[in-house]
Amino acid sequence: MTAFVIRRLLQSVVVMLAMSVIVFAGVFAIGNPVDILINPQADQAEIARATAAFGLNKPLWVQYLDFLRQAARGDLGRSFVFNEPALGLILQRLPATLELALSAMLIAVVFGIPLGIWAGMRPDGAAGQAITAGSILGFSLPTFWVGLMLILVFAVKLGWLPSTGRGATVRVLGIDTSLFTWDGLRHLVLPATNLALFQLALVIRLARAGTREVLLLDYIKFARAKGLGTGRILGVHVLKNILIPIVTVVGIEFGAVIAFAVVTETIFAWPGMGKLIIDSIGVLDRPVIVAYLVLTVAIVIAINLAVDLLYAALDPRVRLAEAK
């Protein structure tokens, strides 16, 4: 087990380093930020001074090593636009993104599992088929367009819910959150639902497939023969056994949800880090782009590592296969 953990940790570090090289080298392909930031009428001397001030005149590999050294200290450069530490800017907006992503996951699980079990229990019933068709549609729907339609229906036509922004927030345990104010929750409903759609379809599909398989097994028949109620059989015996694949997939998908929040945040003007990165790409704010990419990649790698390690801890076959 120790060897497996070490090997997996090393792999994560290598991938992280590779990503940092790609991100860093690539950032230099996207135009010169000096052109954008300083007065177009500036003379050569002024341009040279600005270039030197941002450290853009050194050789690329020196800049990369500087970048790594500073990154190790948690310094990913200062935003050209806000003139603040880039990582700080991203971290300020991370809670908003996490709040959105967690709410979306919660919606997907809370609605997805019961719907999926229902569809798996009565696959030929009208409700079961409607749920299945809905989940297939959920995979096909272009999420960004659905977001617009949600705004159109619930904000523009019906006027029930606000369409942009985060609403009132309160400070809980040192983090600003909109989960505990009525106004904040009202702002959260549409974006979280939008972000949840794909995961909801996924959870429904997994729960449905799992239920169909589990219902045929002997222990369910035995539980029925014992005279247990349907509620108890579904809530305890079926649920426990279909949860394993669902928990795994939800864990892995969490990284994808955070990445996809870029789209949802842009549509609903949600002040998270996804909206920030899209704005920053528009104005070529390199340090912020780099900080976002490095942080998001790190989050995804960490999630994958955690899921892999948990899996190996639970299932000895995984680490044996890896050791060969």
Partner 1 sequence: MSLAAAPVDRRAETPWRRLLAEFAGSRLAVLGLALFVIILSLALLAPLVAPQDPYDLAKLDLLDSRLPPGSHAADGMLYALGTDDQGRDLFSAILYGLRTSLWVGAGSAVVALAIGAAVGMVAAYAGGRLDAFLMRIVDIQLSFPAILVALILLALLGRGVGKILLALVTVQWAYYARTVRGTALVERQREYVEAARCLALPTHRIVFRHLLPNCLPPLIVVVTVQVAHAIALEATLSFLGIGLPVTQPSLGLLVANGYQYMLSGDYWISFFPGFALLLLIVSINLAGDRLRDVLNPRLRR
26 binds partner 1 per the rule CB under 8 A:
yes
Q: Based on CB atoms, which residue is closest to partner 1, 217 or 269?
A: 269
- Regarding 277 and contact with partner 1 (CB under 8 A), the answer is yes
Record the tokens describing residue 206, joined without a space: 């997994």
Binding status of residue 121 toward partner 1 by CB under 8 A:
no
Least distance between partner 1 and beta carbon 41 (Å): 26
Bridge-partner residues for 170, per DSSP?
A: 177
168-207: contacts with partner 1 (CB under 8 A): none
Sign (positive or negative) of CA dihedral 101, 102, 107, 108: positive
Question: How far is residue 179's CA from residue 244's CA, in Å, rounded to a whole number?
Answer: 28
As measured in angstroms, the least distance from the Cβ of 252 to partner 1 is 8
Q: Does 47 bind partner 1 (CB under 8 A)?
A: no
Nearest approach in angstroms of CB 49 to partner 1 is 27
- Of 58-66, 174-182, 229-237, 289-297, the window that binds partner 1 (rule: CB under 8 A) is 289-297
DSSP lists the bridge partners of residue 172 as 175
Q: Name, in order, each residue with C-beta under 8 angstroms of 105's C-beta and a sequence gap of 6 or more.
A: 196, 199, 250, 253, 254, 257
Which tokens is 5 given? 């953990």
Residue 98 in contact with partner 1, rule: CB under 8 A: no
- 56 interacts with partner 1 by CB under 8 A: no
80 belongs to the binding site for partner 1 (CB under 8 A): no
The SS3 call for residue 283 is coil
Identify which range of 1-9, 29-37, 39-47, 117-125 contacts partner 1 by CB under 8 A: 29-37
Least separation in angstroms between residue 230's CB and partner 1 is: 30
The DSSP code sequence of 26-47 is HHTTS--HHHHHS-TT--HHHH
Q: Which of 5, 27, 179, 247 touches partner 1 (CB under 8 A)?
A: 27
Dihedral in degrees, nearest 10, Cα atoms 92, 95, 96, 99: 180
DSSP letter assigned to residue 54: T
Binds partner 1 (CB under 8 A): choice among 262, 273, 276, 295: 262
Shortest Cβ 231–partner 1 spacing (Å): 33
Q: Is beta strand 170-172 parallel, antiparallel or unpaired with respect to 175-177? A: antiparallel
Site membership for partner 1, residue 10 (CB under 8 A): no
Which residues are paired to 278 by β-bridges? none
Kindly list the distances between the CA atom of residue 221 and the CA atoms of 119, 120, 215, 226, in Å, as whole numbers in the listed order.
Answer: 19, 16, 8, 9
Which stretch, 53-61, 149-157, 200-208, 223-231, contacts partner 1 (CB under 8 A)?
149-157
User: Minimal distance in Å, beta carbon 57 to partner 1?
Assistant: 21
For partner 1, which is the closer residue by CB, 277 or 312? 277
* Radius of gyration of the chain measured on its C-alpha atoms: 24
Nearest one of 43, 185, 40, 210 to 120, comparing CA atoms? 210
Q: How far, CA to CA in Å, does 30 sit from each of 193, 219, 289?
A: 34, 60, 11
Considering only CA atoms, which of 87, 112, 320 is closest in space to residue 199?
112
Q: Is 15 in the site for partner 1 (CB under 8 A)?
A: yes
Considering the complex, what minimum distance in angstroms separates the CB of residue 23 from partner 1? Answer: 7
Q: Which of residues 58-77 bind partner 1 (CB under 8 A)?
A: none
Footprint of partner 1 (CB under 8 A): 11, 15, 19, 22-23, 26-27, 29-31, 136-137, 139-145, 148-149, 151-152, 155-156, 163, 252, 255-256, 259-260, 262-263, 266-267, 277-278, 281-282, 289, 293, 296-297, 300, 304
